[in-house]
A = this chain, B = another copy of it.
Amino acid sequence: MKVVITGGQGFLGRRLADAILARGTLTGISGKAEPVDAIVLFDAVAPEQRPAGLDERVAIVSGDIADRDTVSALVDRDDLSLFHLASVVSGGGEKDFDLAMRVNLDGARHVLEAMRSGGGRRRLVFTSSIAVFGGPWLPASVGDDTKQLPQTTYGITKTIGELLVNDYSRKGFLDGRSARLPTVIIRPGKPNAAASGFSSGVFREPLNGIDYVLPVGLDTVMPVLGYRAVVDGMIALHELSGQALGPDRAVGLPALTVTVGDMVDALHRVAGRRRLGAIAVEPDPFIEAICRGWPADSHFQRALELGLPREDSLDTIVAYYIDDYLG
């Protein structure tokens, strides 16, 4: 079978491809494990050169997710699964509403239409976000039973994606499911402009020997999940039967609810013998205001019952990052 990953050049897309290649099989349209003989990493821009050592089963395709024909051409086999990760992110959506609507809403509709047919057996995993929750009546803890009142265009488009995945699945057009991600840590590479960037930066920069200034207080609380559990969770969600998911195909992934202080403590527990950059706190009112709008806690009994994983602690997440990126 073939696997298409949109947003395939992103951090999670690349890790997902590696994980699928390592497994070798996924549940196909037969309902049984089938060998994965081709993976397409689709993204807006292709790397200038094919990365060295990339598995020969992997093809790199670039194009505009908001172009119907481009997306339609990606789904060229019946025995195909698609992981839809391509998205304008939260800050980007606030800056450019029309781009978020094009990429996130039109793009998702093109993906759904492309996957339609094939007897409704093709599996689709849509990546949603805890940003679907917001607004003045946000409960202390959010979960699959919480009203979605997103306060960003990003969150709006993710909620719409979940709704459409539910309806395309209910109608038998495809076999969809949505993974609702909490904040994913620890992102490698350079700092980005995301308001949540500190939750990766507070680990990554000190581990690189660079001093780091936290823009929020140590008592800031948030649900987080390590990238390994996120990727494993997306694959586990793909493998579950539609019947196991029922009419709400959107599942909030399990998470760890931690404070920023917990993050600093975990870093020092796991990597205290390394030469770490220093961490200071200089609250940024702009970032702090955004953080106050986020859910502080989440519940995920359904995800646990479905067997979706989470790391057992922040310490494990830090240890995985050191293994994966610092050798």
What is A's interface to B at a CB cutoff of 8 Å?
A: 97, 135-137, 145-151, 153, 156, 159-160, 163-164, 166-167, 170-171, 246-248
Contacts and interface: CB of A to CB of B under 8 A. Distances in A.
Given A137-B145, A171-B97, A247 B163 contact: no
A171 to B, nearest CB: 6
A153 B136 contact: no
A174 to B, nearest CB: 13
A147 B149 contact: no
Given A156-B163, A156-B166, A166-B156, A149 B247 contact: yes
Contact of A136 (B136, B170, B246): B246
Closest 3 CB pairs of A and B: A156-B167, A147-B147, A156-B163
A145 B171 CA distance: 27
Nearest to A246: B136
A201 to B, nearest CB: 28
Nearest to A135: B247
Nearest to A153: B167
Contacts of A149: 166, 247-248
A150 B162 CA distance: 11
Contacts of A246: 136
Contacts of A156: 163-164, 166-167
Given A136-B247, A145-B137, A145-B147, A159 B163 contact: yes
A153 B169 CA distance: 11
Residue of A97, A149, A170, A248 with most partner-chain B CB within 10 A? A149
